[in-house]
A and B are shown apart, each in its own frame.
Chain A
Amino acid sequence: MSAPQVMSRPVTAAVETRGVSKVFPMAAGPVIAVRDVSLRIDAGEYVAVCGPSGCGKSTLLHILGCVEIPTAGTLRLDDQDVSSLDDAGRSAVRLAKIGFVFQRFFLLPMLTAAENVELPQAESGVRRAERRRRTAELLEYVGLSHRAHHRPSQLSGGEAQRVAIARALANRPRLLLADEPTGELDQATGDQVARLLERVQADGTTVVVVTHDPAIASRAPRRLMMRDGRIESDAR
C-alpha cells in the first residue's frame, strides 16, 4: 500500500541534543543516568540505541521524546527548542510530532484496535471521518485491517505491537521512538515488528529504537552504543 508519510524530506535534524544530562536524586545519592550527551539524528534516519541494562538508553529515549526533562543541556526537536517548554507544551509537541512504541504495548484494553489508533487523532482534534479513514489506512499498513474491531486481549503480542505502531503513527509524527519494541515478543514476531519499523523509516519517519537485541540493532543503519550514561560509539 502507499506509505502514510511523505517520502522525501531535506536532511535536517529531526532531533538534536547538546550537553544533555539527567541526574536522578536517590536516597543513596544522585544517579547520573545520562552524561553530557550531544547527539544529532537527521530526519529519516533509523537509529538503534544499544547498551547494557542501566546504561541510560531508555532515559535518553525519554529525553528525546520529551517525557523526561534533562537536568542539563538543550533539546531541539524539528528545529524547535523544546527544553524550556512547560508540561502542556511538551504534551502538545509529543502529540503532534512524536510517536511512542512501548515494550509492553500499553494499548487501552477497553478500546478496540481501531479505537486505540483513533485515540491520538481524536486528542489532536482530527475530525471523525478523517480519523476513520486514517485509522483504516494505518491498520492496513500494519496488516491488521481484519483485526480492527478486536480488543487488545484478543490480539497476539505481535499484533498488539503492530497496532501500537499504527497508533504511534496516527498523527503523522516526525519522530518514532520505540523502547524495546520486541522485548515481549518471540524471535519470529520480533522480526516482523522490526521489518515494520524499517518500513516506517523507509516511508520517511525518523525512527529511534532502544533495544537489547543485537539482531534488531544490527538491522539499523546507525547504532549508538551507550555505557554509563555516555554514548560510547556511534556506528553508521
Chain B
Amino acid sequence: MRAWAFALRSLLRQPARSGLGILGVTAVGTLLFDMLLLSRGLEVSFRHLLDATGFDVRVMAAELPFAGPRLTRATATAAAIARLPEVAAAVPIAVQRATARTGAGASTPLFLLGAGIGAPRPWVVAEGGDLPAEAGNPPAVMVNRRLAGSLHVRPGDVLMLSGPCGAEPSALPAVPFRIAGVAEFPFEEASQANAGMRLADLRRVCGKDADEADLLLVQSRDGVAASQTVQAIHAAQPELYAFSNAELVAQFEQAGFSYFRQISVVLATVTLFFGFLLITALLTVSVNQRFGEIAAVRALGFSRRRVVADVFCQSAVLVGTGGLLALPAGFALARWLDAILRSLPEIPARLHFFVFQPRALVLHLALMVVTAVLAALYPMRLVARLPIAATLREEVVS
C-alpha cells in the first residue's frame, strides 16, 4: 500500500475529524482565494475598464482627472495632439452635472458627458443609433439605460436638459435634445443617470463659452505603444500631463488600490496561519494517538522516510481536498462580496473588486502546498524522531 493510499485510509479512520479538518481548510482556502482575487482585482478591473474605452492615453492639466485645473483650449489642443504621428485620435471630454426633464414633467439629476465627436466614441451604443457626424437641431444625445428607464424615454424622444453645471444654481433655459440611442458609459455607476453629447452642446446646456475639457482621450496608432504616444505628447505639450493606461493604473494603485492589496496580504497571512495551526494540530493529535502503531510498523521494517511520507501525504490530502473545495466556495463568496462592494456609492458599475486571474489560482495552489508542507513539519519531525523500542515499551506500560 503506497503512502497516498495509506494516508487516505488513515484519514478515513477518523471521518469526523478528517471531515472537520477538510472543512476548516476549505474555509481557510476560501478566504485565501478571495483575498488573492481581491489583491489585484480592482487594479485589473480598472485597467480593463480603461482599455475597454478604446483609448490608451489620457491627457490632463493635472496629475489626476477631475482633481485640478481643467484643460483650456481643449479643441485646439486635441487637434494638435491628433496631428502627432503616433496618435490616431484625440477626443476632449468634459463632465458636468445637470437635470433632465421630459415633456411629461418627469425629471432626474444626471451627469452630462460632452465629447469631441470623432471616432472612436467614449461610449458603446446598446440600442438605437449613435450621435450623427453633423450637428442637428434639436441636437442629439445618448442616454444610458438608467436614465432611459427612470424617465421612460427611448430613442427618438425629446429630453430637456438644463444646468446647473457648477456649484451655483442656474437660471439657464432647458435645451431640448433628441435621443439618438441608448449607450453604456464605461465608468457609469449602476444608479447613475448619464447622457453623452457633443462638447459644444454641453457648453450650450451649461451656458459656457470657454473651450475647456476635463481630459483628452487619446488613441495611439496601430503598432505604436502607449508609452511612445505619451512621450510624443510630453514633447509637444510639455505643460500637460499625459498618462498611458498602465501609468494611470499605477498612479491609482499608489493613491488607493494598494490598500486592498495590503488588506488582502494581511488577511491571507492570517487565514494561512490558521490553516497551518489547524492542520498541524490535527496531524499532531493523530500522530500522538498512533505512536504505538507507528513504532510497530517501523519495527516491521517501514523506513523512517516512509512513515514521514505517510504524515506528509495525510497533510497533502487534507489541504489538497480543502484547497480544491475552496475554489468553488471562493468564487461564490467573491461574487457575493463583489456585489456588496459594488453597491457602494460612486463605484462604476463595470468595476469589480474580485477578479479571477490564472495568477491567483497558481498562487492559491502554491500557498496551499506551502501550508501543507509547513503544517506537516512538526508531526513529521515527531514521527521521524520516534524511538521505536521506547515507544513500544511505553505503549505496553500504558
A109 to B1, CA, bound (A): 15
Candidates B2, B13, B301; contact of A95 at CB < 8 Å? B301
Name which residue of chain B comes closest to A66, CB basis. B299
A213 to B230, CA, bound (A): 95
Name which residue of chain A comes closest to B14, CB basis. A110
User: Is the pair A100, B299 in contact by a Cβ cutoff of 8 Å?
Assistant: yes
A119 to B2, CA, bound (A): 9
The 9 residue pairs across chains A and B that have the minimum distance between CB atoms? A95-B301, A106-B296, A110-B13, A62-B389, A94-B301, A68-B389, A67-B388, A91-B303, A110-B9
Q: Which one of A12-20, A39-47, A120-128, A224-232 contacts B? A: A120-128
B interface size (C-beta, 8 A):
26
- Which residues from 50 to 91 on chain A have a C-beta closer than 8 Å to any C-beta of chain B? 58-59, 62, 65, 67-68, 87-88, 91
User: Is the pair B302, A91 in contact by a Cβ cutoff of 8 Å?
Assistant: yes
List the count of A-B residue pairs having beta carbons below 8 Å apart. Answer: 85
B11-26 CB mask vs A (1 if < 8 Å, else 0) is 0110000000000000
**Interface: A141 (CB within 8 A):** no
A167 to B296, CA, bound (A): 11
**Interface: A168 (CB within 8 A):** yes
A153 to B392, CA, bound (A): 20
User: Is the pair A120, B304 in contact by a Cβ cutoff of 8 Å?
Assistant: no
Cross-chain pairs A/B with CB under 8 angstroms, 14 sampled: A62-B389, A65-B299, A67-B388, A68-B389, A91-B298, A92-B303, A95-B301, A100-B300, A103-B396, A104-B396, A106-B292, A110-B9, A123-B300, A123-B302
User: Is the pair B297, A108 in contact by a Cβ cutoff of 8 Å?
Assistant: yes
B391 CB to closest chain A CB, in angstroms? Answer: 10
User: Is the pair B300, A94 in contact by a Cβ cutoff of 8 Å?
Assistant: yes
**Interface: A137 (CB within 8 A):** no
A87 to B308, CA, bound (A): 14
A185 to B389, CA, bound (A): 22
Q: A87-B304, A104-B292 are in contact. Are A67 and B299 (CB under 8 A)?
A: yes
A3 CB to closest chain B CB, in angstroms? Answer: 21
Max chain A CB contacts within 10 Å: which of B9, B295, B296, B306?
B296
A153 CB to closest chain B CB, in angstroms? Answer: 11
Residues of A near B303 (CB, < 8 A) are 87-88, 91-92
A180 CB to closest chain B CB, in angstroms? Answer: 7
Residues of B near A106 (CB, < 8 A) are 292-293, 295-297, 395
Identify whether the interface residues of B are mostly helix, strand, loop, or mixed. Answer: helix
User: Is the pair B389, A59 in contact by a Cβ cutoff of 8 Å?
Assistant: yes
Name which residue of chain B comes closest to A106, CB basis. B296
User: Is the pair A92, B389 in contact by a Cβ cutoff of 8 Å?
Assistant: no
Interface residues, chain A, CB within 8 Å of chain B?
58-59, 62, 65, 67-68, 87-88, 91-96, 98-100, 102-104, 106, 108-111, 115, 118-120, 122-124, 167-168, 171, 179-180, 183
A129 CB to closest chain B CB, in angstroms? Answer: 15
B361-391 CB mask vs A (1 if < 8 Å, else 0) is 0000000000000000000000000001100
A179 to B397, CA, bound (A): 13
A123 to B1, CA, bound (A): 7
Residues of A near B297 (CB, < 8 A) are 106, 108, 119
Max chain A CB contacts within 10 Å: which of B293, B301, B302, B395?
B301
Candidates B292, B295, B301; contact of A171 at CB < 8 Å? B301
A62 to B394, CA, bound (A): 13
User: Is the pair B300, A120 in contact by a Cβ cutoff of 8 Å?
Assistant: yes
A104 to B10, CA, bound (A): 19
Name which residue of chain B comes closest to A115, CB basis. B1
Q: A67-B388, A106-B292, A110-B13 are in contact. Are A95 and B300 (CB under 8 A)?
A: yes
B390 CB to closest chain A CB, in angstroms? Answer: 9
Residues of B near A103 (CB, < 8 A) are 396
A157 CB to closest chain B CB, in angstroms? Answer: 15
B18 CB to closest chain A CB, in angstroms? Answer: 11
A96 to B303, CA, bound (A): 12
- Which residues from 255 to 312 on chain B have a C-beta closer than 8 Å to any C-beta of chain A? 292-293, 295-306
Residues of A near B389 (CB, < 8 A) are 58-59, 62, 67-68
Name which residue of chain A comes closest to B12, CB basis. A110
Known: A67-B299, A91-B303, A108-B293. 11 other contacts (CB 8 A): A58-B393, A67-B392, A91-B304, A92-B301, A95-B300, A99-B300, A115-B1, A118-B1, A122-B1, A123-B300, A123-B301
Residues of A near B388 (CB, < 8 A) are 62, 67-68
Q: A88-B303, A167-B300 are in contact. Are A111 and B9 (CB under 8 A)?
A: yes
Name which residue of chain A comes closest to B305, CB basis. A88
A94 to B301, CA, bound (A): 5
Q: A67-B388, A104-B292, A104-B396 are in contact. Are A168 and B300 (CB under 8 A)?
A: yes
A217 to B155, CA, bound (A): 105
A8 to B303, CA, bound (A): 31
A179 CB to closest chain B CB, in angstroms? Answer: 7
A179 to B396, CA, bound (A): 10
Name which residue of chain B comes closest to A86, CB basis. B304
B225 CB to closest chain A CB, in angstroms? Answer: 59
Residues of B near A98 (CB, < 8 A) are 301
User: Is the pair B300, A104 in contact by a Cβ cutoff of 8 Å?
Assistant: no
